[in-house]
Structure 1
Amino acid sequence: MPALIRSTAALVALAFLAACGTDDAVAPIIPNTTTLTVDASQGYAYVRLAETPTQVTVSDPVASSAWDLGFLATTVTANGGTAGPGGVSVHCLCANEAATTTQLQGFTATNQLGAFEAVTSAQIPAESQFVGDSLAPAVAGWFNGTGAGATANTTRSWIVRRGSTAITLGKLRVTSVTNASAQNAGVIAFEFAVQPTVGMPFGSVTQASVDVRLGPVYYDLSNKVTTTATGTWDLRFAGFEVRTNGGVSGAGTVMTVVDNTTPFATIDAAYAATAPVVAYKRDAYSGVFVAKPWYKYNITGTDNQIWPLFNVYLVKRGTEVYKVQVTSYYSAAGTSRQVTIRSARLR
C-alpha cells in the first residue's frame, strides 16, 4: 500500500532572510511537520526521514543505508548498531511515560500536536544519549564468560517452535564451547531433539557441533546437517551469536522459549506443548523503541487495542536530527497495522 503524506509546514521565514542581508548568514531550520502513513501489516515498511519523509523499498535492510526507520506491526527498528549500516540512533524524550489510562484514552493526534511542535533543537541531548539498535536473539545466554574464557551454559534449554499452520516442536541446548577466542566461540557443541511430524513424540537426541572460526555456519534441525544461507536452515552460528530463522534474522518461522529450570533430559513433546505461543520469541532488534515503546496495549483489560503514548523520539543520522511521534496504529476505517507518524527536522 502506498504511503500517505500530509504536510503542515510552517511559513518560510522570509523576514529573517531579509533582515540578514549578507551572503554568509545561515538561516535556522524551520521545522516542517509532516505526517506519513505506512502499511506495516505484511512486512517491514521502511521510511527515509527528510523534510518530506518517504517510504522506500529496501531489498537488503542489513546492507542498505537508504532507510532510517522500519515499521512492522508495533515494532520500530532504527538503521544503526547491528540493525543496519545507516548510523541511525535514537533518544526518547518520553514525556508521557507516566500517563494514566484516562489520559491515554483522551490523547488524540490533534490535541498532542502542540506538545510535538513545542520540541525544539534546544532539547537535543549529548551524543552519548543516543542509542543504536542491537540484536536481541531468541537464543541468548547460551554461554558464560567472555572471549577465550567462554564456557557453555548447560543449565539453559530452549523449546523450539517451527511452522505457521503445521507446528512442530523441539528442544535445544549448547553443551560445550572449545577453542574460543576474542572474536568467536570456536567450536560449539549442542544437542537437540525434534518432532518428526506434528503431534508426535520427540525423536532421539542428536549431538552435533559447528566450527565458527572461519565464518557463519547454518544448521537444519530436521535433516540434522549443516547447510547454507540459501538452503533450508533453522539455526545460524556466528561469532558469539546463535540466530534463528525467523524475525529479523530470516524468512522462516522459528521461535523459541527459554527454560532455565527443567533439565534438558526431561523436556518432552508433551511438556513443550504447554508453553503458550505468547511466550515464544523471534530474533529481533532491541533499541530505544523496545526499551521505551511508543504504545500501551489493552489498557482497560478488555479493549485489546493499541494506544499511542505520543512520546517524542529524537532520531539522529549523521549531524541531522529529526523529531518523530507515532500517532496511530489504525486507519480511519479501523484497519490495524496502518502506522502513522509525524516528523520534523530539528537540525
Structure 2
Amino acid sequence: MAAEQADFYNDDGSANASVFLNATADSESEHLMASMSEPSSWTSDAVVTEFGDAWYTYDFQTHTVSANSDNGWLLRAGESDSYARMRVNQFDYPSADGDVDFAIDFDVQPSGASQFTQSASFAGNIPASGGEVCFDFNGKSTTGCDTANWDLKVGVQGRSLYLRSNSGVSGDGDGGVFGPMAWNEISTYTSATTTPGGGDISTHYSADTTGGVFSDSSWYAYNLQGQHQLWPNYRVYLIDTDTTDDQSTVYALQVTSYYNDAGTSGHPRVRWVEVDLGAEQ
C-alpha cells in the first residue's frame, strides 16, 4: 500500500468521522500522484469474504478458538431472493473430542417478505483433519456443498478456518454478505434489506471474491454518525501486473466513491495511474 491514510483513524483503530466526512476526491488526489517506492513485499490474492476472521477469537495462551458472538452479519441466500441475520454462537476448536464443534443462529427473511419472520439453527461438527459443511437457511437443514441450494459454508483446512457464502469464487449462487456489525446494533434490525431508519441496504451485499490487501486494509468506513453509507478513506494501493517480471507494469489505484452523481449506491469509482517505483511522478 502506497498511502495508508493513518490520519483517517483514531489510535484505537476506529474511524475518525471528522476526517472521513471532510475529505474529498480533490483533496486526496495528491496521495495518488506522489512519488512511490518499491514495497518490502507484495500480497497475493486469496479467497475473501465479508466474514473475515471477525466471527471467532483466538486465545494465544491456550491456542484454542472460540466464537465471537459480539458480531453479526446479514446473509443473502444463494437463490438471491431471501436473507438472514446470523451470528456464530459456538465454535470450539479443538473441542473435547479434538474436532470442531459449532453452532450458528439465523433470523430468516423468506422470499417475498420484507422482514425477519423465521428462525433457523446450524449446528455441526468437522473433523480436525479438515472438511466443509453447508447449510440452507430456508430449508433449515444441512445440504451438500456440491449442490446449488446451500447458503453458508463452514470450513476447516489445515490452520485455516472460514465461512463462505454461495457467491462469487465460492459458489455458483447469487448470495452475498453484509457486515460485520456489532450485535447490539444489528440486533435492532427487523429487515435484511432496510435499516431501522428505512434506508435501502439491498445493494450493500458483497459476493465472495479474491483479494489480499483490499481486505486487510479496507478502502472505506461504514455508518459514520448513524448514516448508513460507505465513506472512502482514499488509500492508495499498488498493483503489480506480474510479480515474476521485474519489468512488469505497476499501477497506483485509489477508490474515490461508492455512489453515482444521483447518490445511488453500487456504483464504485476508481482512479489509477501507471507508476515508476522509486522515480518522481
Task: Specify the SS of the correspondent of 2:131.
Answer: coil
Task: Establish whether residue 156 from structure 1 lines up as the match of residue 71 from structure 2.
Answer: yes
Aligned to 1:242: 163
Instruction: Select the residue among 176, 181, 191 that pairs with 2:90.
Output: 176
Q: Tell me by how many angstroms 1:243 deviates.
A: 0.8
Instruction: Select the residue among 113, 118, 122 that pairs with 1:199.
Output: 113
Aligned to 2:227: none
User: Compared with structure 1, are the counterparts of its residues 202 and 103 closer, same or farther at alpha carbon in structure 2 (3 Å cutoff)?
Assistant: closer
Task: Specify the SS of the correspondent of 2:248.
Answer: strand
Aligned to 1:219: 135
Q: What pairs with 1:1-347 in structure 2 (closer than 5 Å)? A: 92=1, 101=26, 104=29, 124=38, 126=40, 129-140=41-52, 141-146=54-59, 149-162=64-77, 167-180=81-94, 186-213=100-127, 214-225=130-141, 226-239=143-156, 240-251=161-172, 252-262=174-184, 267=188, 269-270=190-191, 273-274=194-195, 276-277=201-202, 279-288=204-213, 291=217, 313-315=239-241, 317-318=243-244, 320=246, 322-325=248-251
Aligned to 1:13: none
Taking only the aligned residue pairs, the percentage that are identical comes to: 20
Equivalent AA in structure 2 for residue 212 of structure 1: I
Task: Specify the SS of the correspondent of 2:164.
Answer: strand
Q: Tell me by how many angstroms 1:242 deviates.
A: 0.5
Tell me the alpha carbon deviations over residues 86-113 of structure 1, each in whole angstroms, 9 at most, x when there is no partner.
Answer: xxxxxx556xxx99717959x9xxxx9x
Q: Tell me by how many angstroms 1:341 deviates.
A: 8.3
Alpha-carbon distance between aligned partners in 1 of 2:170 and 2:51, rounded to the nearest angstrom:
12
User: Compared with structure 1, are the counterparts of its residues 278 and 209 closer, same or farther at alpha carbon in structure 2 (3 Å cutoff)?
Assistant: same
Alpha-carbon distance between aligned partners in 2 of 1:145 and 1:155, rounded to the nearest angstrom:
14
Q: Tell me by how many angstroms 1:238 deviates.
A: 0.6
Quick check: 2:87–2:104 contact (8 Å CA) kept in 1? yes
Alpha-carbon distance between aligned partners in 2 of 1:137 and 1:198, rounded to the nearest angstrom:
26
Q: Tell me by how many angstroms 1:187 deviates.
A: 1.6
Q: Tell me by how many angstroms 1:133 deviates.
A: 2.7
Alpha-carbon distance between aligned partners in 1 of 2:210 and 2:171, rounded to the nearest angstrom:
13
Q: Tell me by how many angstroms 1:316 deviates.
A: 5.2
Alpha-carbon distance between aligned partners in 2 of 1:199 and 1:158, rounded to the nearest angstrom:
18
Equivalent AA in structure 1 for residue 26 of structure 2: T
Q: Tell me by how many angstroms 1:163 deviates.
A: 7.1
Task: Specify the SS of the correspondent of 1:192.
Answer: strand
Tell me the alpha carbon deviations over residues 277-300 of structure 1, each in whole angstroms, 9 at most, x when there is no partner.
Answer: 45444334443456487xxxxxxx
Quick check: 2:114–2:193 contact (8 Å CA) kept in 1? no
Quick check: 1:124–1:314 contact (8 Å CA) kept in 2? no
Equivalent AA in structure 2 for residue 241 of structure 1: Y
Alpha-carbon distance between aligned partners in 2 of 1:309 and 1:212, rounded to the nearest angstrom:
39
User: Compared with structure 1, are the counterparts of its residues 103 and 267 closer, same or farther at alpha carbon in structure 2 (3 Å cutoff)?
Assistant: closer
Quick check: 2:194–2:202 contact (8 Å CA) kept in 1? no
Task: Specify the SS of the correspondent of 2:169.
Answer: helix
Alpha-carbon distance between aligned partners in 2 of 1:257 and 1:292, rounded to the nearest angstrom:
13
Structure 1 unaligned residues grouped into runs of 5+: 1-91, 294-307, 330-335
Q: Which has the larger radius of gyration?
A: 1
Quick check: 1:218–1:229 contact (8 Å CA) kept in 2? no
Alpha-carbon distance between aligned partners in 2 of 1:175 and 1:102, rounded to the nearest angstrom:
44
Q: Tell me by how many angstroms 1:209 deviates.
A: 1.1
User: Compared with structure 1, are the counterparts of its residues 318 and 262 closer, same or farther at alpha carbon in structure 2 (3 Å cutoff)?
Assistant: same
Task: Specify the SS of the correspondent of 1:175.
Answer: strand
Equivalent AA in structure 2 for residue 253 of structure 1: G
TM-score normalised by length of structure 2: 0.56
TM-score normalised by length of structure 1: 0.47
Alpha-carbon distance between aligned partners in 2 of 1:125 and 1:269, rounded to the nearest angstrom:
45
User: Compared with structure 1, are the counterparts of its residues 188 and 218 closer, same or farther at alpha carbon in structure 2 (3 Å cutoff)?
Assistant: same
Quick check: 2:64–2:92 contact (8 Å CA) kept in 1? no
User: Compared with structure 1, are the counterparts of its residues 286 and 228 closer, same or farther at alpha carbon in structure 2 (3 Å cutoff)?
Assistant: closer
Aligned to 1:35: none
Task: Specify the SS of the correspondent of 1:250.
Answer: coil
